[in-house]
Amino acid sequence: MPEIILPNNWTPREDQLPVWRYLEAGGKHAEVVAHRRWGKDDVCLHRAGIAAFERPAGYWHMLPEYSQARKAIWDAINPRTGKKRIDEAFPVELRKTTRNQEMMIEFVNGSTWQVVGSDSFNSLVGTTPAGITYSEWALANPAARAYLRPIIAENNGWQVFITTSRGRNHAYKTLKAAQDDPKAFAQVIDATQSPVFTAEQLAAEKASYIAEFGLEYGTAMFEQEYMCSFDAANMGAILAPAIGRAEKAGRIGKHVEYDPDGSGIHVSVDIGRRDTAVFWFWQPCIGGYSILKCISGWGIDAEEWCQKVNEALGDWKLDRIWLPHDARAKTFAAKHSAVEIFLEKFGVGKVEIVPRSSISDRVNAGRQLIERCQFSNECDDGLEALRAWHYKWNDDNKTMSRDPEHDWSSHFGDAFTEGCKVMQLHKPVSVPDKTPFYEVQPTLNDLWSETPEKSKWI
């Protein structure tokens, strides 16, 4: 076997050295927000190649969706060299097997490297990775990190989160947490801080975005992709601007609590057994709605969800659980439909099927009603999903998709807007009438005039 030195025919640039040196020194948690084409994946691929021979173990490169992993990483070609990126980082001479269908490489020393998706992390139960790269972290399911972090900690492994900015979502929060952690590494590097683009090229890129998307969105897209702006408008976002307004208005926080003297709780649902299920807990209040809790999970059947909803309710009064239309469906794996199971648990009158409506009607209801909603801290995961919920841009047609993109966030958006549509049908809690008995303050003469005359005999 010829001598191979890792990294294989690759050297980190000066602006890539800080994160590279941190990981080489044994760092466990790195967050890198960098502009498009900075080389985020290249850094992590080559670092994983070295790690696999420093410590025999499993290593993952995680994309937001499994379906995009093959195109973005496994089959991707480096335009500068014409070679596959995985062949550059993981020379075939160092491999024992290459499993194309699983997108997995097994090395001669027993280590493995695999491309996976954050939308199917639960299916990887039983594996114990010692290193994970979260690529395009801002677009990934944040539940993957929460689920896998204890595994990494137990294995004394490392995690690297690489992304471009996508508003102040979970990637922004994890970046801030790393900046406050002396043991972690955090870096934000825009296109003016690296040698990848000249000033002339950046000006041309910005002009191209504006020509394609218009001045407002084109500028926002450029600021997001190249200048790492977390405040740029997230193109296609459905409810993110409204959530930003709710934050500024103080409608999100621990002060939003259950009112024991108020109305009963409504629960809006997007339920699925093999997919993510989401439950939002609403309490009508004066002028709007208090959203008190959001719970979600994956691969859980209706019986288990009944128990979880009951636990989430605690001593709260339940008004109604609103199930989607597909809750009526029965499968070969279950003798009863979800609605039958919920009816048996919570009783007739406590469970209903939402009225049928179009996706556009639900989205419009969500945009209207969210302005009258306040959210407790127990909705944080749900709010992150609503911030990420979006339409997808079609490069061919130069238009947004007709319906929201189906990804990890869409389940939260569906459940929330189902609730919005239902709440629109209910009369909101009215403000108590505080009009004084006398609209005009009476005079003493007025009071005397209204007093019955006394009998002359008294």
Supply the CATH number for residue 184's domain: 3.40.50.300
Give the pLDDT confidence score for residue 125 in this predicted structure: 55
Return the sign of the alpha-carbon dihedral for residues 41, 44, 50, 53: negative
Structure-block tokens of residue 328: 């009526």
> Is residue 77 located within the same domain as residue 178?
yes
> Is residue 333 located within the same domain as residue 380?
yes
> Is residue 221 located within the same domain as residue 277?
no
Range(s) of the domain holding residue 389: 247-424
Residue 367 near residue 237, CB atoms below 8 Å: no
Amino acid at 174: T
User: Which residue from 184, 177, 188, 187 is spatially nearest to 159, judged by alpha carbons?
Assistant: 184
Tens of pLDDT, residue by residue over 68-92, are 889 999 999 988 889 999 999 999 9
Give the pLDDT confidence score for residue 333 in this predicted structure: 46
> Is residue 146 located within the same domain as residue 52?
yes
Q: Give how far Cα 176 sits from Cα of 28, 85, 108, 172, 253, Å.
A: 16, 31, 39, 6, 19
Euclidean distance between CA atoms 241 and 326, whole angstroms: 30
For residue 438, being part of any structural domain is answered with no
Give the pLDDT confidence score for residue 437 in this predicted structure: 40
For residue 453, being part of any structural domain is answered with no
Supply the CATH number for residue 417's domain: 3.30.420.240
For residue 31, being part of any structural domain is answered with yes
Euclidean distance between CA atoms 39 and 62, whole angstroms: 16
For residue 148, being part of any structural domain is answered with yes
List per-residue pLDDT tens for the chain, 458 residues long. Answer: 578 899 999 999 999 999 999 999 999 999 999 999 999 999 999 999 999 999 999 999 999 988 888 999 999 998 888 999 999 999 999 999 999 999 999 999 999 999 999 887 766 655 689 999 999 999 998 988 988 999 999 999 999 999 999 988 899 999 999 999 999 999 999 999 999 999 999 999 999 999 988 888 899 899 999 999 998 877 789 999 899 899 999 999 999 999 999 999 999 999 865 568 999 999 999 999 999 999 998 778 889 999 999 999 999 999 999 998 877 665 434 567 888 999 999 999 999 999 888 999 999 999 999 999 999 999 999 999 999 999 987 767 767 888 999 888 999 999 999 999 999 887 666 555 544 444 445 555 654 555 555 444 33
Instruction: List b or e across 33-60, with b for residues whose CB sees 16 or more CB atoms inside 10 angstroms.
Output: bbbeebbbbbbbbbbbbbbbeeeebbbb
Amino acid at 158: W
> Is residue 283 located within the same domain as residue 148?
no
Q: Could you tell me how many residues make up the chain?
A: 458
Residue 388 near residue 139, CB atoms below 8 Å: yes
Give the pLDDT confidence score for residue 331 in this predicted structure: 45
* β-strands 112-117, 104-107 pairing: antiparallel
> Is residue 75 located within the same domain as residue 219?
no
For residue 447, being part of any structural domain is answered with no
Q: Which residues contact 179 (CB under 8 A, 6 or more apart)?
A: 31, 186
Distance of CA 305 to the CA centre of its chain: 21
Q: What is the pTM of this model?
A: 0.79
For residue 85, being part of any structural domain is answered with yes
> Is residue 228 located within the same domain as residue 300?
no
Q: Which residues contact 376 (CB under 8 A, 6 or more apart)?
A: 253, 254, 256, 257, 290, 291, 292, 293
Strands (E), 44-184: 58-63, 95-99, 104-107, 112-117, 129-135, 158-163
Sheet (strand 95-99) strand order: 95-99, 104-107, 112-117, 58-63, 129-135, 158-163, 29-34, 185-189
For residue 400, being part of any structural domain is answered with yes
> Is residue 399 located within the same domain as residue 256?
yes
Instruction: List b or e across 92-131, with b for residues whose CB sees 16 or more CB atoms inside 10 angstroms.
Output: eebeeeeeeeebbbbbeeebbbbbbbbbbbeebeeeebbb
* Phi, psi angle pair for 165, to nearest 5°: -75, 145
Euclidean distance between CA atoms 135 and 263, whole angstroms: 44
Q: Which residues contact 31 (CB under 8 A, 6 or more apart)?
A: 160, 161, 174, 175, 178, 179, 184, 185, 186, 187
For residue 439, being part of any structural domain is answered with no
> Is residue 270 located within the same domain as residue 364?
yes
Sheet (strand 373-375) strand order: 351-353, 318-323, 265-270, 276-285, 288-298, 373-375
User: Which residue from 236, 245, 284 is spatially nearest to 262, judged by alpha carbons?
Assistant: 284
Structure-block tokens of residue 295: 């719970």
User: Which residue from 12, 47, 46, 9 is spatially nearest to 26, judged by alpha carbons?
Assistant: 47
Residue 271 near residue 308, CB atoms below 8 Å: no
Euclidean distance between CA atoms 342 and 269, whole angstroms: 12
Residue 70 near residue 115, CB atoms below 8 Å: yes
> Is residue 289 located within the same domain as residue 218?
no
> Is residue 216 located within the same domain as residue 325?
no
Euclidean distance between CA atoms 245 and 248, whole angstroms: 5
Residue 367 near residue 152, CB atoms below 8 Å: no
> Is residue 351 located within the same domain as residue 408?
yes
> How many domains are contained in the chain?
3
